[in-house]
Amino acid sequence: MSFITGVGLTPYGKHDGSSSLDLMSKAAQLALDDAGLKRAEIDGILCGYSTVSPHIMLATVFAEHFGIRPSYAHAVQVGGATGLAMTMLAHHLVTSGVCRNMLVVAGENRLTGQSRDASIQALAQVGHPDYEVPLGPTIPAYYGLVATRYMHEYGVTEEDLAEFAVLMRAHACTHPGAQFHDPITVADVMASKPVAMPLKLLDCCPVSDGGAAFVISRERTGELGVRIRGCAQAHTHQHVTAAPALSELGAEISVARAKEATGLAISDVRYAAIYDSFTITLAMLLEDLGLAGRGEAAARVRAGHFSRDGAMPLNTHGGLLSYGHCGVGGAMAHLVEAHLQMTGRAATRQVKDASIALLHGDGGVLSSHVSMFLERVR
- Site residues (vs other proteins, CB under 8 A): 117, 120-121, 124, 128, 130-132, 134-138, 140-142, 144-149, 152, 193-199, 239-242
Closest approach of Cβ 192 to other proteins, in Å?
A: 11
Radius of gyration of the chain from its Cα atoms, rounded to whole angstroms: 19
Closest approach of Cβ 121 to other proteins, in Å?
A: 4
Q: Closer to other proteins at the Cβ: 58 or 146?
A: 146
Task: State how far the Cα of 8 lies from the Cα of 42, in Å rounded to an integer.
Answer: 15
- Torsion over CA: 306, 310, 312, 314 (sign): positive
Question: Following DSSP, what letter does each residue of 298-315 receive, concatenated?
Answer: HHHHHTTTTSTTSSS-B-
As a residue count, the chain comes to 378
Cα–Cα separations (whole angstroms), residue 52 to 110, 120, 196, 255 = 6, 12, 24, 32
> Minimal CA–CA distance to 336: which of 31, 21, 123, 23?
31
- Name, in order, each residue with C-beta under 8 angstroms of 142's C-beta and a sequence gap of 6 or more: 126, 127, 240, 365
Separation of CA 345 from chain center = 20
Q: Closer to other proteins at the Cβ: 25 or 281?
A: 281
Closest approach of Cβ 263 to other proteins, in Å?
A: 35
Closest approach of Cβ 366 to other proteins, in Å?
A: 13
Q: Closer to other proteins at the Cβ: 55 or 149?
A: 149
Closest approach of Cβ 243 to other proteins, in Å?
A: 9
Q: Closer to other proteins at the Cβ: 228 or 240?
A: 240
Q: Closer to other proteins at the Cβ: 185 or 241?
A: 241
Q: Closer to other proteins at the Cβ: 134 or 183?
A: 134
Closest approach of Cβ 209 to other proteins, in Å?
A: 19
